[in-house]
Amino acid sequence: MKIIRQILIPAILVALAFLVVFKLKANKEEIKETALLASQTISEIPVKVIVPQTGTINQQISSTGIISATEELTVLSETQGKVKKVYKNVGDHVSRNEVIIEVDDETVSANVLVAEANYEQQKKDIERYERLEQGNAIAKHDLEQARIGLKKAEADLITARKALRDTKIKAPIAGIVNKRMVENGQFVSGGMPVCEIVNTSKLKIWIKVPEKDIFKLGKGQEVNITIPAIVGKTFTGKINSIGEKADNSMKFDAEVVLDNPEGSQHLKAGLFAEVSIPVEASEAILIDKNALVGSMKNPSVFVIEGDKAVKRDIITSDSDDKFIEVISGLQKNDQVVVSGQLNLHDGDRVKIIQ
């Protein structure tokens, strides 16, 4: 029994060693086969391609601004005295040259009467001096002094009459009274603000336009305006002026004007507005945005050349939700990878699939 055990144990060990060697060799062959299959799979990466198309992208320049009145000014008093009557309240419409406020004119009216009397007296003195001068009964110097006195009396009369007119403070423009700073019985002095008038029959919006878009604008060009406070309504305006100098952020000022509709959707100055300016676009090469590799600042695509994918840098311009315009780097007949490019490297072999 001892002899059998001595023979059996080595035999079993040899058999186990042979089995281990066989298994390792089999695993090695399997790993080698798997690697070969993987290399064959990777050697031809499946991709989908597109051919660039030509067309135009609906371009528009977007900006924002605050609506303001085309005319807006503060009316100042040119006289002094106690407010006698207020004719207009906040929100009232005024016509040009319509009286807004009347100041007490008793003293000023008296000054006008004195000036008129003095002027009439000077005129009579001139007539009398001229008759005396014809008979050589008066010195020419006296006549000259009388004529100077008449001119001064005339100037005093003009000044007094203007002072009387100034007691009725009138609207220099048509519009709406936005603020009123005085009340009945209040004393006003020269240069004191009495009210603010805004003319909102026409409105304007100042917007900022980037330098890349400034040459796409022209005077009279139509724009679309939306007001977040007025849902579902689009207004139409026009470019009225374009600035000649950019600011520190390389943006230009442009003025948009629009008519103010009447009725319930009457616009008010101070509202926030969103301005959209449609611009014409020339026909260009367009590709699907999904074809881009990298960022929009440094875009590139993979182009199929033979059975290989070649990475190519491109220069882009405008874009929309689906397409991007290519200025340089592509030809119309290029095959551009649109799917599968995430696994690609420059020079990889590819297989085009539908």
Q: Average per-residue pLDDT in the chain?
A: 85
Instruction: Identify whether the C-beta of residue 309 lies closer than 8 Å to the C-beta of residue 47.
Output: yes
Out of 247, 263, 279, pick the residue that ends a domain. Answer: 279
Within-domain flag for 294: yes
**The predicted structure's pLDDT at residue 329:** 87
Rounded CA-CA distance 241/254 in Å is 6
Over 50: is that where the pLDDT of 40 sits?
no
My answer on whether 321 and 334 are in the same domain is yes
Please state whether beta strands 300-305 and 308-313 pair in parallel, antiparallel, or not at all (unpaired): antiparallel
Within-domain flag for 135: yes
Q: Categorize the per-residue pLDDT at 265 as very low, low, confident or very high, splitting at 50, 70 and 90.
A: low
Domain of 320: which CATH number? 2.40.420.20
Out of 221, 246, 279, pick the residue that ends a domain. Answer: 279
Number of domains in the chain: 3
My answer on whether 153 and 207 are in the same domain is no
What is the arithmetic mean of pLDDT over 1-23?
57
- Give the domain extent around 112: 106-166
Domain of 254: which CATH number? 2.40.30.170
Nearest to 300 by CA among 289, 285, 311: 311
Q: Categorize the per-residue pLDDT at 125 as very low, low, confident or very high, splitting at 50, 70 and 90.
A: confident
Q: Which two tokens stand for residue 171?
A: 């609207």
Q: What percent of the chain has pLDDT over 90?
A: 45
Which segment of 38-52, 86-100, 164-178, 297-311 scores lowest on mean pLDDT? 38-52
Q: Categorize the per-residue pLDDT at 129 as very low, low, confident or very high, splitting at 50, 70 and 90.
A: confident
| Tens-digit pLDDT profile for residues 286-317 | 888 888 887 777 889 999 898 888 999 888 87
Within-domain flag for 126: yes
Within-domain flag for 96: no
- CA distances to 8, 13, 29, 34, 340 from 22, in Å: 21, 14, 11, 18, 41
Q: Categorize the per-residue pLDDT at 152 as very low, low, confident or very high, splitting at 50, 70 and 90.
A: very high
What is the arithmetic mean of pLDDT over 136-142?
75
What is the arithmetic mean of pLDDT over 147-176?
93
More confident residue, 45 or 28: 45
My answer on whether 330 and 309 are in the same domain is yes
My answer on whether 288 and 275 are in the same domain is no
Model confidence, pTM: 0.59
What is the arithmetic mean of pLDDT over 131-140?
75
My answer on whether 254 and 210 are in the same domain is yes
**The predicted structure's pLDDT at residue 325:** 82
Nearest to 239 by CA among 266, 258, 260: 258
Over 90: is that where the pLDDT of 262 sits?
no
Q: Which two tokens stand for residue 347?
A: 């020079």
H-only helix segments in the chain: 2-43, 106-134, 140-165
**Rg of the chain, C-alpha, whole Å:** 45
209-246: b (≥16 Cβ within 10 Å) or e: beeebbebbeeebebebebeeeeeeebebebbebeeee
Within-domain flag for 194: no
Q: Which two tokens stand for residue 278?
A: 């449609």
Which segment of 102-111, 220-229, 261-270 scores lowest on mean pLDDT? 261-270
Within-domain flag for 311: yes
Within-domain flag for 52: yes
Out of 241, 264, 279, pick the residue that ends a domain. Answer: 279
Q: Which two tokens stand for residue 17?
A: 């060693």
Domain of 129: which CATH number? 1.10.287.470
Q: Categorize the per-residue pLDDT at 252 as very low, low, confident or very high, splitting at 50, 70 and 90.
A: very high
With tokens 């062959």, the residue in question is: 29
My answer on whether 123 and 153 are in the same domain is yes
Residues in Cβ contact with 236 at an 8 Å cutoff, skipping those fewer than 6 apart = 222, 223, 224, 225, 258
What is the arithmetic mean of pLDDT over 6-34?
58
Within-domain flag for 39: no
| Tens-digit pLDDT profile for residues 323-351 | 888 888 888 888 888 888 887 888 888 88
Strand partners, 323: 288
| Tens-digit pLDDT profile for residues 176-222 | 999 999 999 999 999 999 999 999 999 999 999 988 888 888 999 99
- Quick one: 247 exposed, middle or buried, by C-beta within 10 A (0-12, 13-18, 19+)? exposed
My answer on whether 237 and 299 are in the same domain is no
Instruction: Identify whether the C-beta of residue 203 lies closer than 8 Å to the C-beta of residue 254.
Output: no
Residue type, 33: E
More confident residue, 231 or 37: 231
With tokens 């006195």, the residue in question is: 149
**The predicted structure's pLDDT at residue 53:** 82
Q: Categorize the per-residue pLDDT at 256 as very low, low, confident or very high, splitting at 50, 70 and 90.
A: very high
Instruction: Identify whether the C-beta of residue 162 lies closer than 8 Å to the C-beta of residue 105.
Output: no
Nearest to 315 by CA among 304, 299, 333, 331: 299
With tokens 């290029």, the residue in question is: 334
